[in-house]
Amino acid sequence: MNDDQLLRYARHIMLDEIGIEGQERLLAAHALIIGAGGLGSPAALYLASAGVGRITLVDDDVVDLTNLQRQIAHTTARVGQPKTQSAAQALHEINPGVAVTCVHERVDQQRLAQLAASADVVLDCTDNYRTRHAINAACVQARKPLVAGAAIRFDGQVTVYDTRDGRSPCYACLFAPDADFEEAACATLGVFAPMVGIIGTVQAAEALKLIAGVGQSLAGRLLMLDGRSMRWSEMQIPRDPDCPVCAAAR
């Protein structure tokens, strides 16, 4: 690390659990963030500020005025811009040393597999059931840890799926790929603005811990937040030995 980096990341380096070696792991890491909206905004901002060396942002949407109530990486001046481009500008303003790659497209399963294979950690910041399953399948195939978050109305949830550990479930262990699932969208149900910030920040924390090798991840545990009472609850997630996605990959 150079003198500027030693100063910028001093508060991380002071932590015994991270230190210089942990910070160097962050600087050498590549995080893939799929979704540059409510969850992806705080997640990306914190990963950039913490010094994750490479960040790939994937989103096919553009910034809309209705996004600005909660998607803090974007600004009024950037309405109409691709969300990946807008978020990349925000990240560079915080930390010009981070290399940001923008993927402004709706990625298919093959493209997801390519992107996941090149990353050290993947963050699912989407709001679409089918896309979440596609991301999960790509991470299982590439054996990459997946940090998944969701938020709607006053409720949020976050967990880690890390099939590098044979005891850890994947997303399909919890939510069957062929389930008849009714999508819940912010556009129709609304979302409490800080909820996506809370969940997205926890996603960033879990990603940083995975990269730096700090503490215990949320693998096998689903954290759920009721924003009305501001109470967390936790549910154990068992691995499904007959899971159609991860069983064959073990």
* 132-178 per-position pLDDT tens digit: 999 999 999 999 999 999 999 999 999 999 999 989 999 999 998 88
Per-residue tokens: 149: 């978050």
Who's near 154: CB < 8 A, 6+ residues apart?
192, 195, 226, 227, 228
Per-residue tokens: 235: 């549910």
* 41-98 per-position pLDDT tens digit: 999 999 999 999 999 999 999 999 999 999 999 999 999 999 999 999 999 999 999 9
Q: Are 203 and 147 in contact (CB under 8 A)?
A: yes
Per-residue tokens: 161: 């799926």
The residue-averaged pLDDT of 112-121 equals 97
- Domains of the chain with bracketed CATH: 3-236 (3.40.50.720)
Q: How many CA atoms lie within 13 A of 22 on its CB side?
A: 21
What's the pLDDT at 171? 96
Q: Are 122 and 113 in contact (CB under 8 A)?
A: no
Per-residue tokens: 83: 């969300």
* 200-209 per-position pLDDT tens digit: 999 999 999 9
Q: Are 35 and 124 in contact (CB under 8 A)?
A: yes
What's the pLDDT at 216? 96
Q: Are 199 and 149 in contact (CB under 8 A)?
A: yes
Which amino acid makes up residue 133?
H
pTM of structure: 0.95
